[in-house]
């Protein structure tokens, strides 16, 4: 239970040092990372929420005003991050209070979706978040990258700074995947463009068509960010990576599960494919979440009964109907409809699972539920927060 006389509010600049101290203990910050997070917090204290008792900050989280791509469209997504409680105040329900408060705030602001990178999937699953993303971590011999194709573009070393041309490339590449973020410039500077990394661009006749950020160690070259707007740019930048084979034997790339830049069938040597669990997500406001998606073609209806203990405003029977390019989502009076929980519906609407798999796992009951195929794109999140 939340301690007596506790207060939930947005942090001020005077609270930043205390917040960073709590994070440093919870996440084992190095001195360099601590300083980086502190400077970023000073830039955007309005993104921080805390629980205070007797004016002392005891728990804190970051609530990002993100936009993410779903079915090719940018939608509002509240990013939850840096949820931590001071050691002396743990097991009092403070983190839960912050999380529930954030969901209520997102609903009030009209933010229909939320996402996070979990420290514990079991913890966030208790509040309706569902795993929606896994990345393939590829490990292969750098020399085994395919030889260069024709029509390679001009390559150039870029300074470690965000440019409008890089934004253009990213925004051409990102919408093909569900949940890729529409990167906020300040956020991009925090999680990308690390000191010691190398940044390269592939330039076409008139504009940048791809960029690649990598780091090189004694034994390994690691792709940290890789976006392209044309196949020629992707192949050109992979040829550049291949050129590091004499310097670093192994290549590591956390790649989208579906992408055209590199066919694993073309690799002559062994490829190790690991799985890294990525983002969890949940629906914050059901009607707005459905309306935020592109209207499917033709005419159709989704009817279901939803359970959601953490956000009870979503619970109950709903009907989403579309016809001739318009759609409505309203309460339903029908009783012979599909029944499922908010985690399963989140996974269905974003293409992480299918009705058949959900039914086989006991997470979907009742009549068949046909999710429009237009919504179910491959899922990939290039950023962690």
**Domain limits, CATH 3.30.1050.10, in the chain:** 286-375
pLDDT band at 258 (very low <50, low <70, confident <90, very high): confident
pLDDT digits (tens, 9 = 90+) for 87-145: 999 999 999 999 999 999 999 999 999 999 999 999 999 999 999 988 889 999 999 99
Q: Torsion-angle region of residue 384: left (phi > 0), alpha (psi -120 to 50) or beta?
A: beta
Q: What is the CATH number of domain 286-375?
A: 3.30.1050.10
User: What is the separation of C-alpha 360 from the centre of its chain, rounded to a whole number of angstroms?
Assistant: 27
Mean pLDDT for 30-45 is 90
Question: 43-52, 214-223, 254-263, 329-338: which range is least confident on average?
Answer: 254-263
Averaged confidence pLDDT in the chain: 92
CATH 3.40.630.30 domain locations along the chain: 6-111, 136-277
297 pLDDT higher than 50: yes
Buried b (16+ CB within 10 A) or exposed e, 289-322: bbebbeebeeeeebbbbbbbebbeebbebbbbeb
Q: Say how far apart CA 303 and CA 333 lie, in whole Å.
A: 10
Quick one: fold of 6-111? Aminopeptidase (3.40.630)
Residue with tokens 């009092």: 92
Joined tokens for residue 370:
């046909």
**CATH (residue range 136-277):** 3.40.630.30
Q: List, for residues 364-376, the tens digit of each pLDDT value.
A: 999 999 999 999 9
* Residue 358 to residues 105, 203, 282, 296, Cα–Cα distance (Å): 30, 45, 16, 22
Tokens of 194: 């690390």
- Give the model's pLDDT for residue 2: 47
Angle at 147 between CA 144 and CA 150, to 5 degrees: 160
For β-strands 338-341 and 299-307, DSSP reports them as parallel
């Amino acid at each position: 239970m939340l301690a007596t006389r506790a207060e939930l509010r947005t942090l001020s600049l005077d609270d930043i040092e205390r917040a960073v101290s709590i994070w440093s203990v919870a996440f084992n910050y190095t001195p360099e990372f601590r300083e980086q997070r502190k400077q970023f917090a000073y830039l955007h204290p309005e993104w921080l929420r805390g629980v205070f008792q007797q004016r002392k900050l005891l728990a804190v989280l970051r609530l990002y005003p993100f936009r993410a791509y779903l079915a090719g469209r940018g939608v509002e997504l509240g990013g939850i991050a840096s949820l931590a409680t001071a050691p002396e105040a743990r097991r009092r329900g403070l983190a839960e209070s912050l999380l529930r408060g954030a969901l209520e705030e997102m609903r009030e602001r009209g933010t229909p979706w939320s996402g996070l990178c979990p420290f514990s999937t079991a913890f966030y699953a208790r509040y309706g978040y569902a795993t929606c993303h896994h990345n393939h971590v590829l490990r292969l011999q750098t020399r085994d990258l395919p030889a260069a194709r024709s029509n390679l573009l001009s390559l150039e070393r870029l300074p470690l700074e965000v440019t409008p041309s890089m934004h253009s490339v990213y925004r051409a590449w990102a919408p093909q995947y569900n949940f890729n973020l529409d990167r906020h410039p300040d956020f991009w500077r925090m999680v990308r463009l690390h000191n010691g990394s190398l940044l390269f661009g592939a330039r076409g006749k008139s504009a940048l068509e791809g960029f690649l950020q990598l780091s090189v160690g004694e034994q390994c070259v690691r792709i940290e960010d890789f976006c392209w707007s044309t196949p020629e740019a992707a192949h050109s930048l992979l040829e550049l990576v291949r050129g590091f084979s004499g310097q670093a034997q192994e290549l590591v790339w956390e790649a989208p599960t579906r992408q055209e830049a590199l066919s694993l069938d073309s690799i002559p040597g062994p490829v190790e494919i690991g799985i890294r669990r990525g983002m969890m997500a949940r629906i914050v406001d059901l009607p707005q979440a459905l309306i935020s998606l592109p209207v499917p073609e033709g005419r159709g209806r989704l009817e279901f009964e939803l359970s959601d203990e953490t956000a009870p405003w979503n619970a109950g029977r709903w009907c989403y109907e579309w016809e001739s390019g318009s759609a409505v989502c309203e309460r339903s009076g029908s009783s012979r409809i599909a029944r499922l929980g908010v985690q399963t519906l989140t996974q269905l609407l974003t293409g992480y699972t299918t009705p058949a798999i959900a039914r086989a796992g006991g997470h979907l009951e009742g009549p068949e539920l046909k999710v429009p195929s237009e919504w179910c794109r491959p899922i990939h999140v290039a950023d962690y927060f």
